[in-house]
């Protein structure tokens, strides 16, 4: 199963570089982390304006695992969660 994680920018305090280093080390070692990125410089295309997702979402990550608990276990170490914030894990439909 493929997953996408949306990282909200609602932490109670700032994340620390060491937290990110530790998380990325664990994520890369897990074999289920497929990468991700910060999100910025949004351009809306279309006819109806919508709220900018960058008002609440700072980035995303992708994971692939047949065991959702493995993803959830890894995410328990995510810096945003450690600092009291929210991440949102979504299953991607099989195509």
Give me the pLDDT at residue 94, please: 83
Q: Pick the range with the lowest mean pLDDT from 5-14, 22-31, 51-60, 64-73.
A: 51-60
Question: Is 21:65 a contact under the CB 8 Å cutoff?
Answer: no
> Distance between CA atoms of 67 and 15, rounded to whole angstroms?
27
Tell me the CA distances in angstroms from 17 to 21, 57, 65, one per residue in order: 6, 19, 26
Could you tell me which residue, 94 or 28, shows the higher pLDDT?
A: 28
Residue range 12-35: average pLDDT?
A: 97
Nearest to 63, CA basis, from 91, 33, 38, 93: 33
Kindly tell me if the per-residue pLDDT of 52 is higher than 90: no
* Average pLDDT value for the chain: 94
Using a pLDDT cut of 90, give the percent of the chain over it. 82
> Distance between CA atoms of 1 and 72, rounded to whole angstroms?
13
> What is the CATH code for 2-41+52-91?
3.30.70.260
Backbone φ and ψ for 40, nearest 5 degrees, come out as: -155, 175
């Amino acid at each position: 199963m493929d997953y996408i994680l949306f990282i909200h920018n609602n932490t109670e305090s700032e994340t620390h570089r060491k937290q990110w280093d530790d998380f990325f080390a664990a994520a890369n070692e897990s074999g289920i982390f497929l990468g991700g990125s910060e999100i910025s410089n949004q351009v809306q295309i279309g006819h109806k304006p919508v709220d900018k997702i960058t008002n609440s979402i700072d980035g995303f990550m992708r994971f692939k695992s047949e065991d959702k608990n493995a993803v959830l276990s890894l995410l328990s170490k995510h810096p945003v969660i450690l600092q009291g914030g929210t991440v949102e894990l979504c299953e991607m439909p099989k195509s």
